[in-house]
């Protein structure tokens, strides 16, 4: 969807639109006095952006009724090391008012860093580029699997890390000259060092140990590359006429990027007559809802065709068509027609999505679908799982997922894009609300609770979590006799819950979300 970036001016003043993100904001006002009962008509560009952040939340935030008044919140009072940091500080504070009655904590309570927003953030446009299929980083991610053992957990093909020979499972024994106790997990200085080194720097030098015990050094710089979200596709013969399809899907990138690659994988599965499917979403933080819909259609049985997949649920102000601030958010549809987000019908009846098997090239006849999940599995990944639970036999393997049943669309404010939850999704059974995550092996999510095994590559039948799925297909149980995955488990000193939390923590501010990128229901 092409965007027209707008210049925000508070509602009572004429709206100016522009294709440029670099113009200044014209001061506006809502009829209130200077920071008393509403925004001032004067102020710096940053002041007006801060006002805009809060005013959009007042009308579109899913928990908007929990927010205080403008005068109480004082948007212009927030500061930071940069303009973007100041805006994120404001958003973090804004999200702590909505309380989940089940926990007594904010819905956006972020366990690794209380006081920070779990879901909401503001961005300089990097996320839209990344989900469009182009990234500009090193192309790998690390994780501690024990206090003294850091591993490469994935590498994107064609990325700088891939070109330097990094592979999943390689042990990282040196980072920018730092070794030994300087790389021990400490929930503090060493964690911050690792996050900054791989996700906030333009250059990095790693010393890595291969499975054969040899080491090598890889010095690399960040670079632009096209993301292939399908990391691995395999078909495993499980014997007795059973075949297991496996796909490691790492990001719900835009349709143009993801759909052709998904089609290739599922056409292979259909041609191989697989009986069971394993979808590895263990590090998939989400992305576009339209891609989640497409993957759900690929996996769903023919009997699901035409039935409810899920529904969007917006706040009351949006549902009743009173979120007038959305008139400022101008867009163009695929036919080149201009509309605004205010023109969308946000009622549940107009936002119920149905399965459509005609939209996908292959239909599988599956006995089971297994989803491999961890604390890094979020949002659009969880949406896909939730969509399919009422329609087929779904089992989860791994650690408890991130817990993000809410999503958003992008709000353009000057040169920034703000993402705050505007909707919650519920499946055909009316179930959602998995704020604590989806726990494998629980009553709601049958399966196997187990640690991630980062010592083996994706799709390796000996990899711990995949091995559980194969064993279930063969024997109807997750229990594995003998020592098949014992060597991997011996390396892990973290409990299952600790492993989950460490994985989330090390990812820092990685994007996690489901973005409504194709609103269909117009008023």
Does 2 map to a domain? no
Mean pLDDT for the chain overall: 89
H or E segment to which residue 504 belongs: helix 496-506
Identify whether the C-beta of residue 284 lies closer than 8 Å to the C-beta of residue 251. yes
pLDDT category of residue 441 using cuts at 50, 70 and 90:
very high
Give the pLDDT confidence of 21-33 residue by residue, as tens digits: 333 333 333 333 3
221 and 273 in a common domain = no
At 521 the pLDDT is 67
pLDDT category of residue 37 using cuts at 50, 70 and 90:
low
- Phi, psi angles (nearest 5°) of residue 297: -65, -35
* CA 446/CA 86 separation, integer angstroms: 43
At 21 the pLDDT is 35
Does 22 map to a domain? no
The mean pLDDT of 485-504, rounded to a whole number, is 72
* CA 210/CA 216 separation, integer angstroms: 8
Buried b (16+ CB within 10 A) or exposed e, 414-436: bbbbbbbbbbbbbbbeeebbbbe
428 and 310 in a common domain = yes
442 and 303 in a common domain = yes
Does 498 map to a domain? no
Q: Is 386 left (phi over 0), alpha (psi -120 to 50) or beta?
A: alpha
Q: Which range, of 127-141, 183-197, 244-258, 344-358, averages the lowest pLDDT?
A: 127-141
* CA 74/CA 76 separation, integer angstroms: 6
291 and 196 in a common domain = no
- Phi, psi angles (nearest 5°) of residue 154: -160, 160
At 332 the pLDDT is 87
* CA 492/CA 81 separation, integer angstroms: 38
Would you give the DSSP letter of residue 172? Answer: E
The mean pLDDT of 268-292, rounded to a whole number, is 97
At 522 the pLDDT is 67
304 and 182 in a common domain = no
174 and 292 in a common domain = no
Does 505 map to a domain? no
CATH label of the domain that carries residue 209: 2.30.42.10
Q: DSSP 3-state assignment of 70?
A: helix
Does 497 map to a domain? no
* CA 230/CA 240 separation, integer angstroms: 28
Does 237 map to a domain? yes
Cα–Cα distances (Å) from 100 to 66, 106, 107, in that order, read 11, 6, 5
Residue 508 has pLDDT above 70, yes or no: yes
Residue 3 has pLDDT above 50, yes or no: no
Q: Which domain holds residue 208?
A: 134-226
CATH label of the domain that carries residue 398: 3.90.226.10
pLDDT category of residue 38 using cuts at 50, 70 and 90:
confident
At 520 the pLDDT is 65
Nearest one of 276, 210, 208, 218 to 247, comparing CA atoms? 276
Q: Which range, of 99-108, 325-334, 508-517, averages the lowest pLDDT?
A: 508-517
240 and 368 in a common domain = yes
307 and 187 in a common domain = no
* CA 408/CA 484 separation, integer angstroms: 43
pLDDT category of residue 356 using cuts at 50, 70 and 90:
very high
Tell me the pTM: 0.90
Does 204 map to a domain? yes
């Amino acid at each position: 969807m092409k965007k027209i970036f707008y210049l925000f001016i508070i509602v009572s003043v004429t709206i100016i639109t522009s294709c440029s993100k670099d113009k200044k904001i014209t001061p506006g006002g809502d009829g209130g006095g200077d920071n008393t009962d509403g925004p001032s008509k004067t102020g710096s560009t940053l002041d007006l952006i801060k006002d805009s952040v809060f005013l959009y939340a007042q009308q579109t935030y899913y928990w908007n009724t929990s927010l205080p008044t403008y005068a109480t919140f004082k948007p212009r009072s927030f500061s930071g090391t940069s303009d973007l940091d100041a805006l994120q500080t404001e958003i973090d504070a804004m999200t702590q008012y909505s309380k989940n009655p089940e926990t007594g904590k904010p819905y956006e309570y972020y366990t690794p860093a209380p006081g920070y927003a779990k879901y909401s953030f503001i961005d300089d446009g990097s996320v839209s580029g990344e989900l469009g299929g182009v990234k500009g980083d090193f192309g790998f991610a690390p994780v501690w699997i024990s206090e003294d053992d850091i591993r490469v957990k994935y590498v994107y093909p064609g990325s700088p890390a891939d070109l330097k020979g990094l592979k999943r499972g390689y042990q990282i024994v040196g980072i920018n000259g730092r070794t030994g106790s300087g790389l021990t997990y400490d929930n503090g200085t060493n964690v911050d060092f690792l996050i900054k080194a791989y996700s906030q720097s333009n250059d990095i030098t790693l010393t890595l140990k291969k499975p054969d015990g040899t080491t090598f050094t890889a010095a690399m710089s960040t670079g632009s590359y096209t993301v292939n979200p399908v990391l691995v596709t395999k078909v495993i013969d499980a014997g007795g006429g059973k075949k297991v399809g496996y796909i490691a899907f790492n990001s719900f990138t835009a349709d143009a990027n993801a759909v052709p690659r998904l089609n290739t994988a599922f056409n292979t599965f259909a041609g191989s007559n697989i009986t069971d499917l394993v979808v590895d979403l263990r590090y998939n933080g989400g992305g576009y809802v339209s891609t989640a819909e497409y993957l759900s259609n690929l996996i769903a049985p023919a009997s699901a065709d035409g039935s409810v997949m899920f529904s969007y649920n917006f706040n009351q102000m949006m549902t009743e068509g009173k979120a007038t601030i959305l008139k400022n958010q101008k867009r163009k549809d695929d036919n080149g027609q201009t509309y605004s987000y205010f023109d969308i019908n946000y009622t549940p009846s107009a936002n119920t999505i149905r399965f459509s098997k005609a939209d996908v090239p292959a239909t599988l006849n599956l006995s089971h679908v297994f989803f491999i999940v961890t604390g890094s599995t979020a949002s659009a990944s969880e949406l896909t799982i939730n969509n399919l639970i009422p329609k087929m036999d779904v089992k989860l393997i791994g650690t408890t997922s991130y817990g993000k049943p809410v999503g958003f669309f992008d709000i353009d404010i000057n040169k920034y894009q703000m993402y705050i939850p505007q909707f919650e999704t519920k499946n055909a059974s009316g179930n959602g609300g998995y704020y604590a995550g989806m726990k494998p092996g629980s009553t709601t999510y049958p399966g196997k609770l187990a640690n991630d095994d980062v010592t083996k590559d994706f799709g390796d039948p000996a990899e711990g979590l995949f091995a559980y799925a194969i064993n279930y297909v063969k024997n109807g149980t997750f229990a594995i006799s003998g020592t098949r995955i014992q060597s991997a488990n011996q390396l892990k000193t973290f409990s299952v819950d600790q492993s989950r939390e460490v994985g989330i923590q090390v990812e820092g501010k990685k994007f996690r979300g489901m973005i409504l990128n194709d609103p269909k229901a117009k008023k």
